[in-house]
Chains A and B, each alone.
Chain A
């Protein structure tokens, strides 16, 4: 069982003697361990055609001509191009700049141009090779620097998709006063790279025409209503003619937030033209090469601190590479900007954030959504501050970390559930951070001395150890007015058998949506979770409870479902004229209700808590209802002979308000931490002429079980009064925290301040050599 601590007293509304807070078996786990869970590619549909995508091999250019090899047998091959699109040739998201199929202009490598389908997967594969697309190449823009130089204009006259400024106090003026009263100016630039989500189930969607002239699209996805909206535009169909159904989904991490709209619409175009069901299942090579990645970032921070390490002013400038189309970059940027100053109080803060256009495949949603990038920079910077002032990084964090009543850069007053100090202290205590900090420093000095006199460890190695620390926070739910605009709706109704049924579009993608929803609704109705049914996310059956993103599923949608369940219960109690004591009483009353009055359904639409204010134009106000907090220590052993960084310890505490299901919550934390460690140490997207070079699992390296040490996770519960049972968000938070701790641990072990991830062995070794050369002169 995961360790769970409740430092605060739980509010009354939170108390529960039901299943919330316990770890019941995950609902669909039986199917998953027996191999009976059906993922998209496991469905056996008679007559299904296999769809494939003809893509651009160049990063930028104009299509001159498309040639079909006349020697090839084209019989039975369905071919779709942009002219076959009945409605608009757009991937509907924030802006309409991305075409579903390129017509003339090519703006990134792997851009879809044509679609092919055939009943034989092998034949359509051959057909793919029998199409030749002739493209007149244009000079591509492949980096943030090239984009900002504006030699080639890709988007308006700036190449900037979105710019955000957040200002509190007067950071510039404060920075000008550097040196007065012993204040110190610290500057640094920090970089993060692309990252592939690398769900183990590749993208997979299937489409078929329905008898009523509509479409049924099924697949591996996070957001059924995103696909629904995209299909309506592409086909010019009304909402009721388009039905999108989630199949069991083998991981998402943001990678199946917006991209399934593209694949679903592609499959639908082939199905529309052929009249047959069509499935498109990407193979790994195509999935890595063509789909979205985490935005790379460059962040420059200038800070003014006083002698004891208090932050007096912060000036942060971050640039993210959006790729070829706007897609979700403005919102990724927004979350990145809001989190850029980290969980630290600072009266004068300016944050400028820009997302720029390049000719690389669009970057998109990925767990953390911009916040891991900017907080990586801020955490590295906090260590730089500590280094300049010769303070321990822990001390600098203790001095500045948020407490209740502190104000964020957007002017949000943190009124409750501020766990920054709690997670920090618990983490350093459990990790024996301070002891190890001293011990490793001493041991490293002893080892260096011994090596100089020709003594080595038993394996002849030259290794150094280090421990690093990081502290982050993460806002739960959509940013600012996002939840209001979304106005999502969730419902609970009653099945003919008299059981309550959850109706929401929130998807199970491994994280436990179904289980925690059943627990929360079960508790609200006073019955075991096993008694609660859950409808499949199917736009024909469930209301739009919003996308499964932004750490909102538990706190926001869970909260709506609890409200809906309470309404249902009170309606049914009133009807029965008695409290419904248990599941049996509920069932009896529900059946009688159905017989006498007909269907019973209760809904709840998101309502912003009255105290929250947000202005989207000025970026002032309450960016999120609440933040979750995490601290983490990472211990490493760096091999000076190879530059390899081996992880030898990871300790973390996460304040998530309330763990509805401690095992699943710990699973989110552990998985997120390891994904963050992969980003920090191993995962490097390598490019060649604007195309991803290492688009194979052999060369895009993610952590194996051998690459991670035992993870020591503690859950801290400082309840949020507006969250169901006190819960806040958990999904993204763990992604934010390990990378800067890795940088700090490597710095402790070696003295190298790398300020850039991934920390590949090559970088470490070359930096060690450079440092050695510098110290020798």
Chain B
């Protein structure tokens, strides 16, 4: 099938791409938008390394056809920091050992960002954090430092 033209924003920036319509959103972001922060870990919606937000909702971008991004607002890991300034969540990942090898980190941060937005300032319990991040596999940290960083970020960046 011939390529289609799609318009959407990524991290607030407008993009216009011509791509095969069934190309995966993951590949559109990486190949066309040159945003390689979003990773592929499994291609089956299990590991969550490719997590991005579409209109505020987390998705596995390896399971989304490009056409469905048309007109959408997309957030990737590259959109979290503003002008090089880390968000409290990112800063706490850096300081608290939330990122080791780093390959799950972009997806993990995006899922955590969705949770914090959903919590509207309330501090999630440890279980709520674990539940919210269950779609993001990490093999390095054992999750503890990630969970701690997310809760600390919810408390406004103060660690416990």
Segment of A59-67, A301-309, A343-351, A705-713 engaged in the interface with chain B: A705-713
B61: interface (CB < 8 Å): no
A450: interface (CB < 8 Å): no
A663: interface (CB < 8 Å): yes
Decide: B43 and A704 in contact? CB cutoff 8 A: no
Query: Which of these, A35, A197, A510, A706, contacts B76 with CB under 8 Å?
Result: A35
Taking A34-B78, A284-B44, A704-B134 as contacts, is the C-beta distance between A510 and B142 under 8 angstroms? no
Decide: A250 and B101 in contact? CB cutoff 8 A: yes
Query: For residue A25, which residue of chain B has the nearest CB?
Result: B94
A673: interface (CB < 8 Å): yes
Residue-wise, chain A 1-43 has the 8 Å CB interface mask toward B (1 for contact) of 0000000000000000000000101101111111111110110
A312: interface (CB < 8 Å): no
A551: interface (CB < 8 Å): no
Decide: B99 and A35 in contact? CB cutoff 8 A: no
Q: Which residues of the other chain, B, contact A511 by a CB distance below 8 angstroms?
A: 100, 140
B67: interface (CB < 8 Å): no
Decide: A33 and B126 in contact? CB cutoff 8 A: no
B58: interface (CB < 8 Å): no
Chain B positions 19-41 with a Cβ under 8 Å from a chain A Cβ: 30, 34-41
Query: For residue B141, which residue of chain A has the nearest CB?
Result: A671
Taking A29-B99, A201-B101, A250-B103 as contacts, is the C-beta distance between A702 and B139 under 8 angstroms? yes
Decide: A664 and B35 in contact? CB cutoff 8 A: no
Decide: A35 and B77 in contact? CB cutoff 8 A: yes
Decide: B46 and A671 in contact? CB cutoff 8 A: no
Query: Which of these, B86, B104, B109, B144, contacts A670 with CB under 8 Å?
Result: B144
A171: interface (CB < 8 Å): no
Query: For residue B126, which residue of chain A has the nearest CB?
Result: A710
Can you give 23 contacting A-B residue pairs, CB < 8 Å?
Answer: A23-B95, A25-B94, A26-B94, A29-B99, A30-B86, A33-B93, A34-B78, A34-B86, A35-B35, A35-B78, A41-B36, A42-B30, A201-B41, A284-B43, A510-B102, A667-B141, A670-B145, A671-B142, A705-B136, A705-B138, A706-B130, A706-B134, A708-B144
Query: Which of these, B41, B44, B94, B147, contacts A33 with CB under 8 Å?
Result: B94
B66: interface (CB < 8 Å): no
Decide: B106 and A35 in contact? CB cutoff 8 A: yes
The number of residues on chain A lying at the interface, defined by a beta carbon within 8 Å of a beta carbon of chain B, is 58
Query: Which of these, B44, B103, B133, contacts A697 with CB under 8 Å?
Result: B44
A473: interface (CB < 8 Å): no
CB distance from B89 to the nearest CB of A (A): 8
A663–B135 alpha-carbon span in the complex (Å): 25
A674–B140 alpha-carbon span in the complex (Å): 9
Decide: B145 and A249 in contact? CB cutoff 8 A: no
What range describes how many residues of B lie at the interface?
35 or more
A775: interface (CB < 8 Å): no
Q: Which residues of the other chain, B, contact A696 by a CB distance below 8 angstroms?
A: 42, 44, 46
Q: Which residues of the other chain, A, contact B116 by a CB distance below 8 angstroms?
A: none
Decide: A671 and B139 in contact? CB cutoff 8 A: yes
CB distance from B144 to the nearest CB of A (A): 5
A698–B99 alpha-carbon span in the complex (Å): 24
B80: interface (CB < 8 Å): yes
Chain A positions 367-415 with a Cβ under 8 Å from a chain B Cβ: none
Taking A26-B97, A41-B40, A708-B143 as contacts, is the C-beta distance between A200 and B137 under 8 angstroms? yes
Q: Which residues of the other chain, A, contact B97 by a CB distance below 8 angstroms?
A: 23, 26, 663-664, 666-667
Decide: A202 and B41 in contact? CB cutoff 8 A: yes
Q: Which residues of the other chain, B, contact A44 by a CB distance below 8 angstroms?
A: 34, 36
Residue-wise, chain A 676-710 has the 8 Å CB interface mask toward B (1 for contact) of 00000000000000000000111000111110101
With most chain B CB atoms within 10 A of its CB, the pick from A25, A26, A29, A36 is A29
Decide: B46 and A698 in contact? CB cutoff 8 A: yes
Residue-wise, chain A 121-145 has the 8 Å CB interface mask toward B (1 for contact) of 0000000000000000000000000
Chain A positions 286-312 with a Cβ under 8 Å from a chain B Cβ: none
Query: Which of these, A34, A509, A706, contacts B101 with CB under 8 Å?
Result: A509
Q: Which residues of the other chain, B, contact A463 by a CB distance below 8 angstroms?
A: none
A674–B144 alpha-carbon span in the complex (Å): 10
Decide: B100 and A671 in contact? CB cutoff 8 A: yes
Decide: B147 and A705 in contact? CB cutoff 8 A: yes
B119: interface (CB < 8 Å): no
A711–B77 alpha-carbon span in the complex (Å): 28
Chain A positions 488-547 with a Cβ under 8 Å from a chain B Cβ: 509-512
A743–B11 alpha-carbon span in the complex (Å): 48
Query: For residue A29, which residue of chain B has the nearest CB?
Result: B94
Decide: B49 and A200 in contact? CB cutoff 8 A: yes
Q: Which residues of the other chain, B, contact A253 by a CB distance below 8 angstroms?
A: 139
A663–B97 alpha-carbon span in the complex (Å): 6
A31–B44 alpha-carbon span in the complex (Å): 26
Residue-wise, chain B 101-113 has the 8 Å CB interface mask toward A (1 for contact) of 1111110010000
Besides the known contacts A201-B39, A696-B42, A705-B143, 7 further A-B residue pairs in the complex with CB atoms under 8 A apart: A33-B90, A33-B109, A36-B78, A284-B42, A671-B100, A674-B141, A704-B134
